[in-house]
Amino acid sequence: MKTKSLFIAAVAMVVALSAFGEEPSNSKGLAVVPVKGSEVFKVIYKGENTGKIKLNIYNEQAQLVFSESISGLDGFIRPLNFNGLAAGQYTFEIIDATGKKTEKVDYKPFTAKASNVHVTKLSGEGKFLLAIAASGKETVNVKIYDAANTLVHSESKSVDGAYAQIYTVKNVKGALTFEVTDANGTTKTVRF
């Protein structure tokens, strides 16, 4: 029975591979992966042979913003920091002995504003300290929910650098939840 299951699995894999065929040759051997929470992209290249490789990056106006020649490798992983570049679509181009390979990515500068959000329960009934360490001006949304997940307070605050405020939440029994959302849609949730 086990042999029959393995045989069926092998046949299914062969059928699936033949049905999908190969990747388009334009992207084969090239991948561009964003590093979460940063302005870095990893360029992953795997060629068929060792040789000279040229990496070019173009902005939306087809202007060359980066170029590098690499010799003696058949593959690499190269991190590239886009800090300081304008938001938009960028084209990564690899030229090797087999031709050109391209991949397009959309770049949006990463902002870590309001990424450091801390909420602390203070001594005293219903008192909480909200502290935000932002890296510049931005608007944050503060929402407070009761134990039944009913919104009891909501406000938008303009934050410029470090910010702190004491909230007094009265007439609410049970647990409280603070949700702080920055301009990028990143939400920090703290429950008490």
How many residues comprise the chain? 192
The pLDDT of residue 65 is 93
Cβ partners under 8 Å of residue 169, min gap 6: 126, 127, 128, 144, 152, 153, 176
pTM of the model: 0.47
pLDDT grade for 23, boundaries at 50, 70 and 90: very low
d(CA 19, CA 14): 9
CATH number of 30-107: 2.60.40.3080
The pLDDT of residue 74 is 84
Q: Which CATH class name applies to 116-191? A: mainly beta
Q: Which residue has the higher pLDDT, 112 or 50?
A: 50
In terms of average pLDDT, the best of 83-87, 100-104, 178-182 is: 100-104
Map out the domains of the chain as residue ranges: 30-107, 116-191
| 115: pLDDT strictly greater than 90 | no
Q: Which residues of 165-184 are buried (b: 16+ CB within 10 A; e: fewer)?
A: eebebeebeeebbbbbbbee
The pLDDT of residue 58 is 95
Alpha helices in the chain (DSSP H): 2-20
| 186: pLDDT strictly greater than 90 | no
The pLDDT of residue 110 is 59
pLDDT grade for 38, boundaries at 50, 70 and 90: confident
pLDDT grade for 5, boundaries at 50, 70 and 90: very low
Say how far residue 91 (Cα) sits from the centre of its chain: 18
| 126: pLDDT strictly greater than 50 | yes
Q: Is-contact 155 141, C-beta < 8 A?
A: yes
The pLDDT of residue 116 is 77
In terms of average pLDDT, the best of 22-36, 49-63, 152-166 is: 49-63
